[in-house]
Amino acid sequence: KRLDDNAHLLTVAHDFLKCLYEKILNGEGMVVLSDAEGIIILAMGSSGSASAPELGTDWREKTVGTNAVGTCLLLKQPIQIWAEEHYCQFNHLWYCSGAPIFAPDGKLLGCLNVSGTSESVHAHTLGMVIGVADAIEKQLRINQVAADNQKIIRQQLKILEIISDGVLIVEPTGNISHVNQKALQLLQTSKVEILHKPLKNIIPSGIEIQELFHSQKMLHDLEINMGLPERRKNCFILTALTKNAQGIPESIIISFKPAKKAHAPVNKVTGFKGRYSFEHMIGKSIIFQQVIHQGKLAASNNLHVLLTGESGTGKDLMARAIHEASDRSQGPFIAINCGALPQGLVESELFGFEGGAFTGSKKEGNPGKFELADGGTIYLDEIGEMPLDVQVALLRVIQEKCITRIGGNKPKQIDIRIIAATNKNLEEEVLNKRFRRDLYYRLNVISICMPSLSERSEDLGLLIDDILERLKWQTGKTDLFIDEDAMHLLKAYHWPGNIRELENVLDRAVCVCDGQTITPRELPNCLLQNEVQLAPDLTLMKQNEIVVIMDVLAETKGNVKQTAERLG
C-alpha cells in the first residue's frame, strides 16, 4: 500500500536515481528514497560489504536516531551526517547526504539520500543530492502542469458536448480537427463525413478560412448557408482565433446555431437579418441586370449610396448585397428603419447616450446604431421620414466622420458607409422643405433606382419559382405546383406591392391550399377581379352583367361551374 500511495513519486524519481547511481557514483555507494515518514520505498547499490536497505526499512529519527533521512525529514532541509555524527554506532562507518523532495503544492513527499563509506565522502556530494532532488521536483511540477492541462482539455471537451451550439475547430490547413456532438446533430452528419476534411465541404462559400487566419478578423453573428449537399441550412456563426505561445494563429473555432433560433435577439440588437449576395437577387431582365451592374460598381468603392424605388422592390436586399460584396463585408451591417424610430428618441437610438444623460437612462450608457456600425455599413431605410433636426445631426456625422453621444462631450471617430433608401421623391421633398438639400447631395453620390415588378414582368416566373422553392422547404409540401389558370392570373396582375406582395400572395396560397396544387381558388380577390377588363364601347347593361359575373366568380374563387349554377 505504501508503494501504491507513492506511485507517482516512484515513477518520476526512478530514472533520476538510476542515473545518479550508474553514471555519477559509478556504482559505488547506495541511493535511497524514502517517503515522507522515513520508510524506504526505493533503494539501489552497495558500499563495501553493506548492501542497500530493504524496502520498508524504517529510517525515522525516532527509530534509529540521528541520520540523514530521518533528520532531513524532521528539519525539512538538506543535511549531511558523517561517521560518529550518526546516533547508531553501526552507522559510524558511513556518510549520508539527504535532501527533501516537495510536491508542487509544497507538501513534503520524501527524502533522497546517498550513502557511502566515511572516507569516500566528497565536498560536493550534498550539493549533488540537492541538485537531483530539485530535478525530481521540477519534473513533478511539469507532470502536474501536464495533468492540469489534460484536465482542462477534458473539461473543455465536455463543455463542447453540453453547450447548445454546434462547434467546429479548424486548423490552418483548412481542415476540421474537432467537431462536437451538437454540430453533428445540426448538420445531420457523422464524424467520418467531416472530421479531418476541408471546411469547404460544409461551407462552400461565404467564408475564406485562409483569409481569416491571415487577417485575424473574426466573424460575429454572420448568417450563412452551411452543411453537406442536400442537407444545407442557414445558420448564424461566430468565430474565435487561438494562438500559440509565440502569438501565431493555430486554430479557428466556429460556433453556429440555426438562424431560426438566433434571428430574434440579433435583430433586436443590431437590425441584422442575414447575409445576402448579388447571387440571391433573382432576375434576367435587361433593366434588372443593369441595376445589378450598378450595385456591383457601388460595392467596389466606399461612396455613399441612395436607393430609390417603390416599396417591395428589394432595396434592403440590394443594400445587403452591396455590403457583402464590398471590403466591409467582415464588418457589421446595421439596418435602421427611420420611419419606425420612436418619436423623441431618434437621436439617442442613432448616436447613443452617456450614463445619466436623461431620466431612466442606463447607468453605463448605450452605444447608438452609428457606433455599432463602426467598420461596416449602416442602412438607413425610409430616410425620407427622418425629422429635420436629426437630418442636421446626420449631416454633421457625414462631414466630420465622428459622433458624440447624448450627454457626452467626447467625439468618437467612426468609419462607416451609409446606404440610404426611400420610396419618396426626395427632390420633391427638398423643394417642399421636408428634406435638407445639403443632406440629399451628400447621400445621393451613387443613385440606384430599383425597378418595379411591372417593369420587369419577364422575371415574374423566376421569382415565383424561387419563392415556391423556399415554401417547399418551409412547409414540407415538396410537390407544390401552380396550375395554368392560377399562373395566368399571377402573370396578368400588375403587382402594385411588387415582390413583397407576390411573396405574401404565395405564402397565403400555400397556407390555405389543401393539397399540393395552387388554383385560382387559393388566390385573393384582387387577382380575380383584375382578370376582367371592361371594353369602353359596351352598353351600360352589358357592363353591369359583366360586373355581376365578375363578383360571383370572385366569390367562388374562380370556379366557373359554380358561378354558372348561381347565375342560372
In the DSSP assignment, the letter for residue 358 is: S
Q: What top-level class would CATH report for the domain 283-449? A: alpha beta
Q: What is the mean pLDDT of residues 463-477?
A: 88
Q: Dump pLDDT digits (tens) for 413-441.
A: 888 999 999 999 999 999 999 999 999 99
The mean pLDDT of 330-350, rounded to a whole number, is 82
pLDDT surpassing 70 at residue 271: no
Is residue 42's pLDDT more than 60? yes
Query: Which three cell numbers, joined as nine digits, stand for 346?
Result: 431618434
Q: How is domain 2-148 classified at the CATH fold level?
A: Beta-Lactamase (3.30.450)
Return the pLDDT at 275: 62
Distance from C-alpha of 25 to C-alpha of 116, rounded to nearest angstrom: 10
Interval 209-265: pLDDT, tens? 888 898 888 888 777 778 888 788 778 888 999 998 888 999 999 999 886 544 344
How high is the pLDDT of residue 363? 57
User: What's the rounded Cα separation, in Å, for the pair 231 and 244?
Assistant: 35
The least confident of 267-276, 325-334, 345-354, 406-415 is 267-276
Across the chain, mean pLDDT equals 84
Q: Where are the domains of the chain?
A: 2-148, 164-270, 283-449, 457-567
- CA angle at 463 for the pair 459 and 465, rounded to the nearest 5°: 120
CB 178 within 8 A of CB 168: yes
Q: C-alpha dihedral over 433, 435, 438, 441, to 10 degrees?
A: -120
Do 164-270 and 2-148 have the same topology in CATH? yes
How much is the pLDDT for 356?
61
**What's phi and psi for 101, nearest 5 deg?**
-120, 125
> How many Å separate Cα 434 from the centre of its chain?
43
Q: What average pLDDT does this structure show over 109-120?
A: 85
Angle at 477 (CA atoms; ends 474, 478), nearest 5 degrees = 100
Rg, Å, the chain Cα set: 40
The pLDDT value given to residue 102: 95
Q: How far lies 272's CA from each of 212, 335, 344, in Å? A: 21, 6, 24
Host H or E run for residue 179 = strand 176-179
Residues 6+ apart with CB under 8 A from 399: 442
The CATH architecture assigned to 164-270 reads 2-Layer Sandwich (3.30)
Run of H or E residues at 369: helix 369-372
Q: DSSP assignment, residue 227?
A: S
Looking at the domain that runs over 457-567, which CATH code has it been given? Answer: 1.10.8.60
How far apart, in whole angstroms, are the C-alpha atoms of residue 351 and residue 156?
40
d(CA 250, CA 407): 44
Q: Distance (Å, rounded) from C-alpha 400 to C-alpha 387? A: 20
pLDDT at 267: 39
Whether the CA torsion 195, 200, 204, 208 is positive or negative: it is positive
